[in-house]
Amino acid sequence: MSTTTSKRPAARQGKASARPIPMYCSQPLQTARQFDSAVAAGRARAILASEKKWVNGTSIRYYCFKRGDAVPAAWQGSAADLAAVDKAFDAWAQLGIGIGFQRVDAAEDAAVRIGFSPQDGSWSYVGRDVLGIRDPLQRTMNFGWSLATAYGADTALHEIGHTLGLEHEHQNPHAGITWNREAVIAYFKGPPNNWDDAQIEWNILRKIPAGQVKGTTWDPDSVMEYSFDAGLIEAPAKYQAGVSPKGGLSYADKSWVVESYPGVRAPATLQLKVGLSQLLKLKAGETRNFEFVPTRTRTYQIATFGTSDTVLVLFEVTPEGNLQIGGNDDSGTDLNARVAIRLTRGRRYLVGVRLYYADAVMETSLMAW
């Protein structure tokens, strides 16, 4: 039998690969954000570059659907599934980033809600887009196959990568990939993926704008990269034989997450005092946290000033992590980010600000009153 195989022409041998076609992550389709015509292109690009990222200091609470929940039985994970998910969150957390992860016991307490339906493939919403899925009985992430294999463990890291704000690496325009469109369509339309045209366009063929991807070069070893069989990529020529990421988090994956969410390297938290404005001194994409300890229990206004696009998030510091209690995103509008909220005397709060864009770096400030 092996003699017959070896006599096949090389091209046909590639197509008759022994490897079964794997199942791939299929992201939910989204509509592109539309900006008001008054928003200049450079400003829109700056907003899009970091709008999906979390504000540093966020503790992301996640919930895994399990037996007894009021969701379809197929979504419910086993104890082994839950342990695999915990392990993958922990692998990201171990990098010492400024984002915490906490598994909670009630779906309504979680921003990230995870199902395990084998009928729905594997996917996750990207970054802060998960906050748009508010129904506690809806998923922001699903695992469509076993997490118990090496491929499954990488899938868990990959979907959490999406939740942290990462996109697919093969859609990075810096990869310079020219696809063999017919081959790609035939491959993904077939079993076991059975995707339609829109899914193939969204997850494979579409290029993601340069400002929204991880780096300025392609990282074929990224956990956000798929493995591809021979014959799907036409250029670069080196990848005509396929792409095989080495597995796990790549060096560039790790440096992206540490730069996006600095942990131990973050500058010391600044103090916010009532009635005193603080200059943010942020460059586009950067975040800063301010500690606020109210001396009276009352409703406070916390807002940014200046011509800038910011996202402002208010956390209460609790023993379980930083609990998000308020927030406002003013990007793409002429308004400033502003939160009005009742705070309790003596408790510790953190005000996190991410600057998307500013006319002048030194002219945006933050005040509580």
Contact 162, 125 (CB under 8 A): yes
β-pair partners for 309 = 357
Does residue 147 bind Zn ion (CB under 5 A)?
Answer: no
Does residue 303 bind Zn ion (CB under 5 A)?
Answer: no
Does residue 204 bind Zn ion (CB under 5 A)?
Answer: no
To Zn ion, the closest distance from the beta carbon of 27 in angstroms equals 5
> Which 319-348 residues touch Zn ion, going by CB under 5 A?
none
Does residue 213 bind Zn ion (CB under 5 A)?
Answer: no
Contact 242, 67 (CB under 8 A): no
In the bound state with Zn ion, the residue whose beta carbon lies nearer, of 184 and 350, is 184
In the bound state with Zn ion, the residue whose beta carbon lies nearer, of 203 and 260, is 203
**H or E element in which residue 173 lies:** none
Name the residue with the smallest CB distance to Zn ion. 25
* Nearest in space to 208 (alpha carbons), one of 71, 42, 17, 30: 30
In the bound state with Zn ion, the residue whose beta carbon lies nearer, of 25 and 368, is 25
Token pair of 220, please? Answer: 């074929």
Does residue 157 bind Zn ion (CB under 5 A)?
Answer: no
3-state secondary structure of 353: strand
To Zn ion, the closest distance from the beta carbon of 343 in angstroms equals 39
The dihedral built from the CA positions of residue 180, 181, 182 and 186, taken in this order, carries a sign that is positive
> Which 66-125 residues touch Zn ion, going by CB under 5 A?
none
In the bound state with Zn ion, the residue whose beta carbon lies nearer, of 126 and 366, is 126
* Nearest in space to 344 (alpha carbons), one of 314, 366, 367: 314
Contact 133, 171 (CB under 8 A): no
To Zn ion, the closest distance from the beta carbon of 22 in angstroms equals 13
In the bound state with Zn ion, the residue whose beta carbon lies nearer, of 133 and 270, is 133
Contact 351, 366 (CB under 8 A): yes
Distance of alpha carbon 305 from alpha carbon 12, whole angstroms: 64
Q: Count of residues binding Zn ion (CB under 5 A)?
A: 1
> Which 10-69 residues touch Zn ion, going by CB under 5 A?
25
**H or E element in which residue 241 lies:** none
To Zn ion, the closest distance from the beta carbon of 333 in angstroms equals 31
To Zn ion, the closest distance from the beta carbon of 203 in angstroms equals 7
β-bridge pairing 123-124 and 178-179: unpaired
In the bound state with Zn ion, the residue whose beta carbon lies nearer, of 25 and 111, is 25
In the bound state with Zn ion, the residue whose beta carbon lies nearer, of 170 and 354, is 170
Does residue 366 bind Zn ion (CB under 5 A)?
Answer: no
In the complex, the residues that contact Zn ion under the rule CB under 5 A are: 25
